[in-house]
A and B are shown apart, each in its own frame.
Chain A
Amino acid sequence: QVQLQESGPGLVKPSETLSLTCTVSGGSVRSGNYFWSWIRQPPGKGLEWIGFIFHSGTTNYNPSLKSRVTLSIDTSKNQFSLKLTSATAADTAVYYCARLSVGCDSTSCHRRYDYWGQGTLVTVSS
């Protein structure tokens, strides 16, 4: 059973960098059909896709956050990480890491966020 677990500071000061790590167990980040993703949810609001990274290091980011976001992956530790610079109160949210599974068989293709971490609340405040 694949499990994902977020870790990192729960409080970040405005203008500083928000940094989180997701540790994957029960599976490998080197697997070819998965994109390792970050999604956030401000308190009382909906989900917002931040971006994802492939085991090769290829990334794709939400254009609204692209100038401030960097994703990285450490295959030796089976982890991937998020850095969000110049944090503001608007970045206060529960941050989830998730696995995006994509692929095709002989009859159909699929694309789904099938495993999620439990989420970690990050508050941006002085």
Chain B
Amino acid sequence: QSALTQPASVSGSPGQSITISCTGSNSDIGSFNYVSWYQQHPGKAPKLIISDVTSRPSGVSDRFSGSKSGNTASLTISGLQADDEADYYCGSYSSTTTLELFGGGTKLTVL
């Protein structure tokens, strides 16, 4: 069981928007703005798409956005495209002895 909780799967049609949630605790998401999101296509390494809750690295589409409320962070993908079909992982800094936490991953299916 992962320390951060994500839905196992979400789906949407091309052009639609979807949101993936990531729930942690007061020791991580609730207390720090160090939430990241990673996109992973099959057989590939994770790719950073959002850091520090809302920041997009250079080169990442503005269709990807992040937010946070309390102990839950969210990733929104707007204008879904076929290539967005992938696994998405959230990650967060934690003030516990396990400094880095990840979610179990969410499989996004573009219908």
Mostly, the A contact residues are: strand
Within 8 A of A (CB), among B72-110: 89, 91, 93, 97-105
Contacts of A64 in B (CB 8 A): 98
* Most chain B CB inside 10 Å of its own CB: which residue of A39, A110, A113: A113
* Most chain B CB inside 10 Å of its own CB: which residue of A48, A111, A117, A119: A111
When A and B form their complex, what is the total count of cross-chain residue pairs whose Cβ atoms lie within 8 Å? 66
Query: Whole-angstrom distance from the CB of A20 to the nearest CB of chain B?
Result: 15
Residue of A nearest to B101 (CB): A49
For residue A96, CB closer than 8 A to chain B, the reply is yes
| B52 and A49 within 8 A (CB) | no
Kindly identify which residue among A45, A46, A116 contacts B45, using a CB–CB cutoff of 8 Å: A116
Kindly identify which residue among A45, A112, A117, A119 contacts B48, using a CB–CB cutoff of 8 Å: A112
Contacts of A113 in B (CB 8 A): 36, 38, 46, 48, 91
Could you tell me the distance between the alpha carbons of A52 and B98 in the complex, rounded to whole angstroms?
A: 11
Contacts of B97 in A (CB 8 A): 63
For residue A118, CB closer than 8 A to chain B, the reply is yes
| B45 and A117 within 8 A (CB) | yes
For residue B11, CB closer than 8 A to chain A, the reply is no
Also in contact, A96 and B52, with CB within 8 A (given A111-B93, A114-B57): no
Could you tell me the distance between the alpha carbons of A47 and B36 in the complex, rounded to whole angstroms?
A: 13
For residue A108, CB closer than 8 A to chain B, the reply is yes
Could you tell me the distance between the alpha carbons of A60 and B94 in the complex, rounded to whole angstroms?
A: 13
Residue of B nearest to A48 (CB): B102
Binding site for A on B (CB under 8 A): 2, 33-34, 36, 38, 44-48, 51-52, 55, 57, 89, 91, 93, 97-105
Binding site for B on A (CB under 8 A): 37, 39, 45-49, 52, 60, 62-64, 96, 100, 108-114, 116-119
Known: A52-B100, A64-B98. 4 other contacts (CB 8 A): A47-B102, A109-B33, A113-B38, A114-B57
